[in-house]
Amino acid sequence: MRTVMWSKWASNFVLLAVMAIIVLMVYWQHKLLSLEEQQKSIGPRDDSSDYSVIIYNRIPKTGSTSLMGIAYELCSKNGFSVIHLNTTKNSHILTPADQIRFAQNISGWMERRPAIYHGHIGYIDLSALGVSLRPIYINVVRDPLERLISYYYFLRFGDNFRPEVVRKRKGNKETFDECVIRQGPDCDPVNLWMQIPFFCGHHSACWEPGNSWALQQAKANLAKSYFLVGVTDSMEDFVALLEASLPRFFRGALQLFNSEGKSHLRKTYGKQPPSKETLKTIHKSKVWQMEQDFYIFAKKNFNAIKKRALPSGGSAFVPQQFRFEKIRPKYINNNNINTNTISR
């Protein structure tokens, strides 16, 4: 009798032990799967899951063609789209209806993400247009008088990018100095009003030369909305910062810029430096003073960023200077996943 009872007890014990082992195995398998899912959700994303959108509302004659030449060469290799925004009659502003269309299109065009949209157009505040997309804004600014002089001679002599194109002032050999002396329309200081409105946006006041509100709005937009704004005379550093900060798009950009002639992609022909008398005349202009104010504001900010990220003055970047620690509570979700085992 005792033998039979002992046999039954042993059988029950073995059965319970097997069931316990099975339960433990299921539990730990579930926990491991949950941990893997958690790691996927908070760990670093690979490039295929990046749906970022960059907007580069490029200002004419600031070196934007050189930069976009690099982007077009990298897009296939790095797996992103480059899309040029072409406007009727080269208008720098859009109608309200077109602003909405533009915002909705770039927000919904998922097949083309990640993407860089570029064009000679004023800043567009997407947050005011009913879409959830938060793009990364970038731009480049240039000394305002240098930019105007470059454009002045470009209209007359063209450049080495498309030398066969006949420019608007072809055959006119009047120098910028001569134009200033006779107070011609092409060298009128009012033409300096370009970088401020491009950063100010689509408000009508932005495009009124000498408008003080526009200057302040341009500064505010640069500070609040733009991820990075470079300067033409430090283009190499700007490219280096883009590659370090946005490798999804600009991986390999610095090597391309330095080794394959991209730093000199476009050069205006026939350009002559202004005389001291011309400089004195231009510097008296309120428009020049405001544009110069904005340029100095942008350049100081860029130099501060460059100093933090490129302390040696070369391409050696400061390594990552933050990490996550003291993560509490130790156990999260309903699966008691220990967050201390998860790293980024």
Single out the catalytic residue among 30, 84, 92, 120. Answer: 120
Task: Report whether 330 contacts 251 (CB < 8 A).
Answer: no
Instruction: For residue 231, list its beta bridge partners.
Output: 141
- Report the half-sphere exposure of 269 (CA within 13 A, side-chain side): 17
The reply to whether 264 belongs to the active site is no
Q: Could you write out the three-class secondary structure of the chain? A: CHHHHHHHHHHHHHHHHHHHHHHHHHHHHHHHHHHHHHHHHHCCCCHHHCCCEEEECCCCCCCHHHHHHHHHHHHHHHCCEEEECCCHHHCCCCCHHHHHHHHHHHHHCHHHCCEEEECCCCCCCHHHCCCCCCCEEEEEECCHHHHHHHHHHHHHHCECCCCCCCCCCCCCCCCHHHHHHCCCHHHCHHHHCCHHHHHHCCCHHHHCCCCHHHHHHHHHHHHHHEEEEEEHHHHHHHHHHHHHHCHHHHCCHHHHHHHCCHHHCCCECCCCCCCHHHHHHHHCCHHHHHHHHHHHHHHHHHHHHHHHHCCCCCCCCCCCCCCCCCCCCCEECCCCEEHHHCCC
- Kindly state the tokens that stand for 283: 């510097």
**What tokens were used for 105?**
């299109």
Active-site hit among 84, 92, 118, 264? 118
The torsion region of residue 158 among left (phi > 0), alpha (psi -120 to 50) and beta comes to left
Q: Is 118 a catalytic residue?
A: yes
Q: Give me the half-sphere count of Cα atoms (radius 13 Å) on the Cβ side of residue 333.
A: 11
- Say if residues 107 and 133 touch (Cβ distance below 8 Å): yes
Show which residues are catalytic: 118, 120
